[in-house]
Structure formats: C-alpha cells, structure tokens
Structure 1
Amino acid sequence: MARSKPTDSPAPAGKAGRGPAAGRGRSSGAAAGATAASAKGTAGKDTKAKGKAGADGQPKVGRLKRVGNQVRMIKQAYSLTRKNDPKLPWLMLIAFVAVAGVVELLAILFGAPFLLLPLAIVLGLMAAMIVFGRRAQGSAYRQVEGQPGAAAWVLEGMRGDWRVSAGVAGTTQLDSVHRVLGRPGIILVGEGSPARVRGLIAQEKKKIARVVGDTPIYDVMVGDEEGQVPLRRLSTHVMKLPRNLSAAEVNSLGRRMSALGGPRMPVPGGPLPGGRQMSVSSRQVRRR
C-alpha cells in the first residue's frame, strides 16, 4: 500500500520556525544528558532488581536467610519434641560425647590429640543430630497414631515422586482410603475399621481398574493387627514396593487418573498438635 503524503503546511519562517539558539542548545543538551543518565541509572537499578528475582518472579531468598529459616525450624522441632520426650537432651549429649570421645581417643593413640579435635567435634554433632532426628520422628508418629488423617500425613511426607490423593473414599465414622500414584503403580491405603475399609478399598479398586488397565494396584491397611502395616512403617513399606512403571508411564497414568477426581471427603490437614507448623518441622527433620 502506498503511503499517503503529509498534508501539513511547511514550517513558518523566522524565529518561530528555527531551531533553538546556540546558547539554549547547550543547556538543553546538558539537561537531556542528565535526563538520559538518570534514566540509565534507574534502568540499571531495575535490571539489578530483576536479576535478583527467581524463576517464579518472586525475589530470591539469600543464603544466610535460608540458613536462618532452617535453624529456626530445627529449634522449633527440638522444643516441641523435648516437651514429649524429656530424655532427648541427655541422649543427644551421650551420643556427642561417645562419638567425639572415640575419635579423640584414636587421635591420642596416634600421637595427634589436637589434629583430629575438629573432626571429633563435627562427628559428635552429627551423631547428636541423628539421635535428634530419630527421636523427633518417633515422637511425631506417637502423636498422630490413631488420629484421622495420620496415614495421609505420612504419605504426603514421603521423599520422591509420589502423587497422593487423600480421602478418595470414606465413611462418616472417619474411615478413609488414600490413593497414591508412583513407580510401583497404584497404592490404596486404608485407615480405620478394617471391616468397613475393606469394602471401600474393593469399590475403589473396581473404579480404578477401568481407567488404569493392567497397571498393578496394591492395597495396604494401616494398623497393628496381623496383615496390617504399622503407621511408623508405612512410608518404608510403600517405598519398598517393586518399581513397575517408568517416569513417563507415571505421568501418562496421572493424566488418565485426573478424570477420577480428587478427595471426596474432608481429611484433617494437620493431625499433629500445633497444626501445620508442627507437621512441617517434623517432616524437615525426617528428611534430613
């Protein structure tokens, strides 16, 4: 398309049509330079600010701040665990002294008592933290055991690519069935009265089988009776199941299972006393 010619009248002659005078041109150029410099400085600041943003657009958290958050989580978990386990400080102290003492004794035998002192302290602290993690995990399991939603809390804290749908079936007596998708296939975990939960698991199996085809479906009943899995061993039991699917097959199966929907009954979000903060702290300790 041809461009249309401008129809504006030519600039008038005289001062009105001339450009700025020589003196004014210098001042105007200086002002323009100052404006450009300030704009460049502002753009530079914006670029630096954007550079500090994460992939999700949120500002990145500094390394020291992350370490501080982790220390606060550990302190919170320690204080909560100590209330339910008064022996915790003494057991941690015994572990530290025993491990550090053995390392230092070996250093003395080799004639270098001060050379291995830092290593003795580090290994002693690691032993104390291992004792702390195990006692914290045991204390958390004791608190949630027997409460509705305890199995879902354990399943959601497992490491790895496990897709947990809590409360896909249940009764008014707070019996529930949770569905887990992972490399082994489909795992249905029931908690509550065995007589009622077995029927729920059988119904859920029939419904899932129409969607997943030949994919293995496992059923697990949480409890302390024969043929049941104790709550404290639930995550270990699930993670030890054979790997029957690849990661790509898990993703494909997840898309197909999305047609089944999510939870159909309310499951308590935080079975631990203290709510969400306690559960998060305990999971952090367990993952370490």
Structure 2
Amino acid sequence: MASRSSAPDKGPGFFSQIRSLYTFTKAEFSWLPWVLVAVVVVGIGIGVLIGFLIPPAAIWSVILWGVTGLLFGLLGAMIVLTRLSTRAMYIKLDGMPGAAGHVLSTSLGRSWVASEMPVGVNPKTQDAVYRVIGRGGVVIVGEGARGRLSRLVNDEKMKVQRVASGVPINVLYIGHGEGDVPISKLSATIKSFPKKVDRTTMAAVVKRVDSVSQSVTSLPIPKGIDPMRARAPRPR
C-alpha cells in the first residue's frame, strides 16, 4: 500500500509568481523590459549620486549608496510591474462577458457586498445585470447593450425598491459610450458614491434583497471569460 504524504501541496514560489506576472504583463506591453531596466538604472544612479554628494565621498560610501539605490530601484520596478499588470488585466477584460462580475467581486473591498454571479441574465444575448450593496446604497450594473438591458435593470430596480425604500439606487452601464463607465473605472466609480447608509441599515438591506432575489444559478452564465485566467497574478 502506497504511503500518503501528509504535507500540503505548496503553491507557486515568490519568483515563480514574479515570472508569471511579468509574462502576463509583457504579453500586453512589449516595452515592459525596457521600462523595468530604466527604473532600476535610475535607482542605482540616484544612489551613486547621493554617495558622491554626501561627505566624505569615499569609495565605500558610493558603493553602499549604490547598493541602496539598487534596492530602491528593484522596489520601484515591482511597483511599476504591479500597476502595469493591473492595466493589462483591464485591457484583457474589456468587452468580455462576465468581466463586471470579476471586478465587482475582487476590487470593492469589505465596504460593499457583491457577487461574481449576475442577478439577471439574458441567455440569448449574454447581457447581464449585477447588484452591489454598500454604504453608498445599491448599485445596479448593466453589462451589455444598454437598449437590451432596460428590462433586466428595471426588474432589479423594482425588486430593490420594494424592500429597501429610501435607500439610494444608482445604475451604471459598462461601456465606452456617452454616460457609460469603462470596466477599468467601475470599482472607482462605485467607491466614489457618497456614504448615505449606515452599517446596520446596509446589513438589513442585504438580507432583505437576498430574501426576494430569485436564484439565477440554473440560468446559463455568459461565457467568454475565465476569471482565474484573466486575473493578473500578483506576488505575495
């Protein structure tokens, strides 16, 4: 009988995650290597310059400051890589069905309650409606053609109004047209809504809305996006 190992499977290491992050981002920004090298070189240059300017300008002081500049350059390169990977992720998600659910479930933090699954779906057109509840009230997010989303959005809005009277309800549409919100600015737009609901009321609204919400798990979910693959890997 084969012995079983009790050791848990180890996840990818730090350098493996950095390599995955770099590969993911470079696929969208081919100039990424040059930017990272430039950041590191600038960091070293600043460190060496400080070493010459601070007396006594001994060789050991210049080397020490050069190493310090190298470390800050590597840190700066990591920050640039992380921010560019986020931009690359939004570029890949833009226009893909299900992208709004991925952003809402990963980018809003604890002040908002959202699900990756839509609360309303049109199986034929793959148009979907998502609902977010937070201190800023209720936000209904439409993903798809605005004209086709009218019925889904109105149904969800009426459902919320029945159980959450007086709570602000905002409607956002994902897109690049007039009045639309790009997927890259979705989370920032939602977070910008003024806080008009206290935490107790927010919790009550979540329970009330969930109690009247119809499950859509049996409906076909829009295809075209695998959130696990679309998400930019981040180093731990």
TM-score, with structure 2 as normaliser: 0.81
1:168 aligns with 2:122: no
Amino acid at match of 1:178: Y
Amino acid at match of 2:221: V
Unaligned runs of 5+ residues in structure 1 are 1-58
Call closer, same or farther: CA 1:278–1:247 in 2, change over 3 Å: same
Cα deviation, residue 94, structure 1: 1.1
TM-score, with structure 1 as normaliser: 0.68
Larger radius of gyration: 1
Map 1:27-38; keep pairs closer than 5 Å.
none
Report what 1:10 is aligned to: none
User: Matched residues in 2 for 1:262 and 1:125: separation?
Assistant: 48
Structure number with the bigger relative contact order (C-alpha 8 A, sep ≥ 6) is 2
Report what 1:202 is aligned to: 154
Deviations along 1:196-230, whole A, 9 cap, x unmatched? 11332122111111011211111111111111111
The answer on whether the counterparts of 1:189 and 1:219 sit within 8 Å (CA) in structure 2 is yes
Number of aligned residues? 221
SS in 1 for 2:63: coil
Report what 1:223 is aligned to: 175
Call closer, same or farther: CA 1:159–1:177 in 2, change over 3 Å: closer
Report what 1:284 is aligned to: 234
The answer on whether the counterparts of 1:222 and 1:228 sit within 8 Å (CA) in structure 2 is yes
The answer on whether the counterparts of 1:92 and 1:131 sit within 8 Å (CA) in structure 2 is yes
1:246 aligns with 2:198: yes
Call closer, same or farther: CA 1:193–1:126 in 2, change over 3 Å: same
Call closer, same or farther: CA 1:98–1:270 in 2, change over 3 Å: farther
Amino acid at match of 2:182: P
The answer on whether the counterparts of 2:97 and 2:224 sit within 8 Å (CA) in structure 1 is no
Call closer, same or farther: CA 1:262–1:108 in 2, change over 3 Å: farther
User: Matched residues in 2 for 1:70 and 1:214: separation?
Assistant: 48
Report what 2:97 is aligned to: 148
Identical-pair percentage? 29
Amino acid at match of 1:212: A
Report what 2:62 is aligned to: 113
Amino acid at match of 1:244: K
**Which structure: greater helix fraction?**
1
RMSD: 2.6
Call closer, same or farther: CA 1:184–1:71 in 2, change over 3 Å: farther
Map 1:8-19; keep pairs closer than 5 Å.
none
Cα deviation, residue 159, structure 1: 4.2
Call closer, same or farther: CA 1:209–1:276 in 2, change over 3 Å: closer
Deviations along 1:234-286, whole A, 9 cap, x unmatched? 11111222122233332222222221244454434772xxx454344x1636x
The answer on whether the counterparts of 1:269 and 1:276 sit within 8 Å (CA) in structure 2 is no
Call closer, same or farther: CA 1:131–1:262 in 2, change over 3 Å: farther
Cα deviation, residue 176, structure 1: 0.8
Amino acid at match of 2:100: A
Deviations along 1:74-125, whole A, 9 cap, x unmatched? 3222222223322111111112212332233123211332332343122111
1:137 aligns with 2:86: yes
Call closer, same or farther: CA 1:83–1:241 in 2, change over 3 Å: same
Amino acid at match of 2:234: Q
SS in 2 for 1:125: helix
The answer on whether the counterparts of 2:120 and 2:152 sit within 8 Å (CA) in structure 1 is yes
